[in-house]
């Protein structure tokens, strides 16, 4: 279990260093997560220690929503005052996300079918 935790913290630390010196616009944990995923894809396996730690973390994902809920309650007057703008932005972003996803899926499905017919 310690080995799995060390692996996660190592990739987060590498991500933090890259964020500090190379890619300051991206958060270190995000860079570390991408590097960890790339490393696991290259290895084509997940060792038991890392899987154990990941399973342990995933049991407590719900706790990550507590600060967001507190923020919503804290800023409720501002949210009410700007409700129309917030709802509009959410609806537009949802429609754009679905449309973009559809275009990307269609593009890649054509590429895959072209490869299959070759």
Domain spans, the chain: 1-59, 64-118
Phi, psi of 24, deg, nearest 5: -70, -15
pTM (global) more than 0.75: no
pLDDT in tens, 60-74: 888 877 887 888 888
Distance of CA 74 to the CA centre of its chain: 25
| 20 confidence band (pLDDT: 50, 70, 90) | very high
Q: Taking residues 28-42, report their average pLDDT.
A: 91
Question: Percent of the chain at pLDDT above 70?
Answer: 97
Q: CA 21, CA 19: separation in Å to the nearest integer?
A: 6
Please give the pLDDT value at position 111.
Answer: 73
Nearest to 19 by CA among 6, 2, 7, 32: 32
Q: What share of residues in the chain are helix, strand, coil (percent, to 5)? A: 85, 0, 15
HSE-up of 13 (CA within 13 Å, CB side)? Answer: 6
pLDDT of residue 117: 64
**CA distances from residue 66 to 26, 43, 61, 113 in whole angstroms, order as listed:** 24, 35, 10, 45
Q: pLDDT, tens digit, for every residue of 40-90?
A: 989 888 888 888 888 888 888 888 778 878 888 888 899 899 999 999 999
Nearest to 10 by CA among 44, 47, 42, 35: 35
């Amino acid at each position: 279990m310690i080995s799995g935790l060390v692996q996660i913290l190592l990739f987060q630390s590498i991500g933090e260093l890259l964020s500090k010196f190379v890619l300051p616009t991206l958060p270190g944990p995000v860079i570390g997560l991408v590097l960890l995923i790339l490393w696991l894809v290259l290895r084509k396996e997940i060792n038991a220690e890392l899987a154990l730690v990941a399973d342990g973390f995933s049991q407590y994902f719900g706790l990550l929503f507590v600060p967001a809920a507190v923020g919503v309650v804290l800023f409720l007057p501002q949210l009410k005052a700007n409700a129309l703008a917030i709802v509009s932005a959410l609806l537009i972003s949802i429609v754009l996300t679905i449309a973009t996803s559809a275009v990307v899926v269609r593009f890649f499905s054509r590429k895959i079918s072209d490869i299959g017919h070759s």
